[in-house]
Structure 1
Amino acid sequence: MSSRVIAAAVVAALSLPLALPPGGPFAAAPAAAAPAERSDKAKPVRKKTTERPPGAPAAAKRSAAAVPAPVPVDVAGMRTAQTRLAVRLVEALQKETPEAANLVVSPGSLAMVATLIALGADAPLQAALARTLGFVDGGAAPAAAAPEKAAREAKSKKPRKGDKAAVAAAPPPVDFAAVRAIVAGVQADKGLAEVLAVADAIWIDPAMTPKPSVLAAVAAAGGEVFREPLGTPESLARINAWVGERTRGAIPAMLDRVPADPGLVAVNALYFKDRWRTAFAPGRTRPAPFTRADGSTVEVPLMMGTIEAVPMRSDDSFVAIELGYATPRFGLVLLGSKDKPLPASGFAPVADWLSGRDFAAATVDVALPRLALAERAALLPALDALGLKAGRTSPTALDGFGPGQRIAEVIQKTVLKIDEAGTEAAAATAVTTVRSALRSQNSRAVFDKPFWFALRDRDTGVVLLAGYVGDPGRAV
């Protein structure tokens, strides 16, 4: 039995084809050595020691000095944008691959790598990226969708001179700067390192002529910069080694190939691992039927537990709960149907429940399949459908990284593992018999049919992982 309750590892990568210099592919590469670059060659990956040893506490005690100042982010606005992006991506992927039973995405990882790319993007691509990510201005309409209208509305809402309360009440915008602030906050919080880690990097072919100011901005945002010839087995191995280390081995290989004539590869790696606030007792897990959307069934290991003070929301057709972790800022929202099994699109009327709003605490008898999912998604078609294509086809879209580039691929790999483990103090409180659970007056949340999930950071609004589970039996 694994000692972890959930480990989520995500990698998003963007590949940008190289614009060949005058003279063809054998022309000499421009001599440039920007100050912001880390080296002329990729640095070897160094091993880290942040992995928690077996039996160690889920989260170390943090000293006051180790905790950074709160991130200046409109949490509600970020939560809305991230939840909406998760739903739109999953729905788009289901249309592309209707045969896929399980669909998993990371809105957070996608936003982070897009924010890295935006540093070298022109205004149309920045606007398209913001629109695609669902960024909002103060929790209102998408800021990039209609800049003139947004400017007029912002001007009309300006507080009167001396109205300090109105100024203080105005939330910061949900934009690329907010994402950079979130990444900086996570990377600076050493006490969070065992639970959540995020990392950004770009690999740039020497034939490219990126602007030094852009590379400096990438480095200032916490990104690593490598200059080396791309499209070779050696560069592919180094990129995959970087990903493997940053995800602590959960994703050992991100790319199986690099596009022909690549100019740049941008990667975000996100790793999360924590224990339940209240564990599921392993002795209560039992084989049980899981009904797929088509009505067929598959036998899966169903974890069972009675958990107190669970945020919950339900009506006649749907039920949603949020399971807490040992680190209180994180939660896993689960959304399922009560009666008949539904496809991902069948949850559209209640998709906003994934944001965790309007939940009320209850004691809940929970039944949840043990999961081990590993998914790979090519996201560019879905992102184009959401509005990215209009900005990425411009010949100057990515001039900050070198002329003539375009986004060629957006690949995301996700790994999700859920099992019974929890903190020792909570494990005993969850041990009850199956019979008593069935006879109790507690609320019930039984996920024995297709369901949605969203692993979220309550402090920032970022959705680390989200998706639709239609067949736990297909898990790896």
Structure 2
Amino acid sequence: PQPAPPANQADSSDPLAQAPAVAPTVNRELTQAHLDFGLALFDQLRQATPNENVLVSPTSVALAIAMAYNGAGGETQVAIANALKIQGLDIDQINAGNQALTQYLTQLDPEVALEIANSLWVNEKLPVRADYIEQMRTAYRAEVAVLDFGLPTAANRINDWVKARTRDRIPTIVDQLPADQLLVLVNAVYFKGAWSEAFDPAQTAERSFSLANGDTIQHPLMAQSGDYRYLETDQFQAVSLPYGNASLSFEVILPAPGIDLAEFSAQLTPENWQSWMNQMRSRPGDIQLPKFQFEYEADLIPALETLGMGIAFEAGQADFSGLTELEAFINQVRHKTFIEVNEEGTEATASTAIGIMPTSIALPPDSPFEMVVDRPFIAAIRDRQSGTLLFVGAIVDPR
């Protein structure tokens, strides 16, 4: 076994150890559940597109689903708890824990921008329980807005909120909203941190990078020397690059030559992950790291079904009686992320949108009007999409 660090040296593999004044408020069981859920979700998404970049924010997804969980009942509530790995916690522990964790993370390092925001968008024509709305306001500090989902501006309002919370990096999270959408829950996470020690751009050079298929490309790799928390086994190398005051860090795990990423990922269990983080020790070394930037998006429903949440997506089976008197189910879970890593540091952002839909409902019809076209009138033919007027006329004598 590795020797323990000196007692006076905080183990930076555990950021909670660095903030003793705040740490007691954080529910360790909940943070463990987030880790377990996050790695399980990442594994599902990575397997779905093994030859493409994947980036998921477990925090964003877990917070959005937790908001939906507050309105779930019966088997649906049990299924969501199992998928989120929170079976041992009651609703008050989950809500208080998420609130404390959000507060803790966003105040962790004054040198790093870390913002977490929630919102709840409600259909003005459908019933959503007032106590549910109030719970979202208090426990998740959700901004609440009541919209007419029949108008195209409804999706724009939600997208504008996400765009603002992600500093324009994620301009849209929902496309079109059905007029009978009951509500949409949205989470946004934004992170921007400078490396504790910036990379010198003069050291960045085009170097070889081997792709999964064996091809080699030339790509800009940054280079730096220093003391880093590091771990090496016959399976992999791991290094931790700190941001700001070193409360937050960028973990890089590189499978050994000859071990492909898909094969190695099978070892990425919560137990192994925590063991590796705890075994890292400060060592001098040289590192080369690619600069990169990409966007990722996924429909999370297939992955969440595999993780046991299937009932929540089944019309007629799902139970969201805690948020509405109508029969309702989750009809969409969209997740979008963005990341850029360069010499200065990292910018990463994520948004998760969960749509909840009534099983079958006819919206109450508007009261009938009467229009008698019995005098001269204007008529037009136009393209609704662009607003182009193809014809416009005045009819004064219809004979």
TM range (shorter): 0.7 to 0.9
**Residue of structure 1 aligned with 2:238, choices 320, 342, 348:** 320
Counterpart of 2:287 in 1: which secondary structure?
A: strand
Residue identity in the other structure for 2:328: Q
1:311 matched to 2:229? The reply is yes
1:218 matched to 2:136? The reply is yes
**Residue of structure 1 aligned with 2:73, choices 81, 104, 122:** 122
Offset at residue 282 of structure 1 (A)? 0.8
Q: Which residue of structure 1 lines up, in the alignment, with residue 174 of structure 2?
A: 255
Residues 321/83 of structure 1: CA separation in 2 closer, same or farther (3 Å cut): farther
1:73 matched to 2:26? The reply is yes
Per-residue CA deviation, residues 251-276 of structure 1 (Å, 9 max, x unaligned), is: 12222222463111110000011101
Per-residue CA deviation, residues 347-368 of structure 1 (Å, 9 max, x unaligned), is: 3225445442221111121111
Structure 1 gaps of 5+ residues are 1-66, 136-141, 148-172, 424-454, 456-462, 466-476
After TM superposition, the structure 1 = structure 2 runs for residues 175-190 of structure 1, keeping only pairs within 5 Å, are 175-186=94-105, 189=107
Counterpart of 2:293 in 1: which secondary structure?
A: strand
Percent identity of equivalent pairs: 27
**Residue of structure 2 aligned with 1:91, choices 43, 46, 63:** 43
Offset at residue 390 of structure 1 (A)? 3.3
Residues 357/239 of structure 1: CA separation in 2 closer, same or farther (3 Å cut): same
**Residue of structure 2 aligned with 1:301, choices 213, 217, 220:** 220
Larger Rg: 2
Counterpart of 2:330 in 1: which secondary structure?
A: coil
Q: Which residue of structure 2 lines up, in the alignment, with residue 397 of structure 1?
A: 319
Which segment drifts farther, 110-119 or 173-182? 173-182
Q: Which residue of structure 1 lines up, in the alignment, with residue 290 of structure 2?
A: 369
After TM superposition, the structure 1 = structure 2 runs for residues 226-241 of structure 1, keeping only pairs within 5 Å, are 226-241=145-160
Residue identity in the other structure for 2:44: A
Higher strand share: 2
TM-score, normalised via structure 2 length: 0.73
After TM superposition, the structure 1 = structure 2 runs for residues 48-447 of structure 1, keeping only pairs within 5 Å, are 69-70=22-23, 72-75=25-28, 77-98=29-50, 100-135=51-86, 142-143=87-88, 175-186=94-105, 189=107, 192=110, 195-221=113-139, 222-259=141-178, 261-308=180-227, 310-340=228-258, 342-352=260-270, 353-355=272-274, 356-393=277-314, 395=317, 397-402=319-324, 403-421=326-344
> Hey, what's the Cα distance between the residues in 2 that align with 1:276 and 1:305?
12
> Hey, what's the Cα distance between the residues in 1 that align with 2:110 and 2:127?
37
- Please say if residues 203 and 226 of structure 1, whose CA atoms lie closer than 8 Å, have aligned partners that are also in contact: yes
Higher normalized contact order (CA 8 Å, seq sep 6+, divided by chain length): 1
Residue identity in the other structure for 1:338: A
Structure 2 gaps of 5+ residues are 1-19, 352-399
TM-score, normalised via structure 1 length: 0.62
Q: Which residue of structure 2 lines up, in the alignment, with residue 161 of structure 1?
A: none
Residue identity in the other structure for 2:48: E
> Hey, what's the Cα distance between the residues in 2 that align with 1:132 and 1:218?
21
> Hey, what's the Cα distance between the residues in 2 that align with 1:307 and 1:317?
23
> Hey, what's the Cα distance between the residues in 1 that align with 2:132 and 2:117?
18
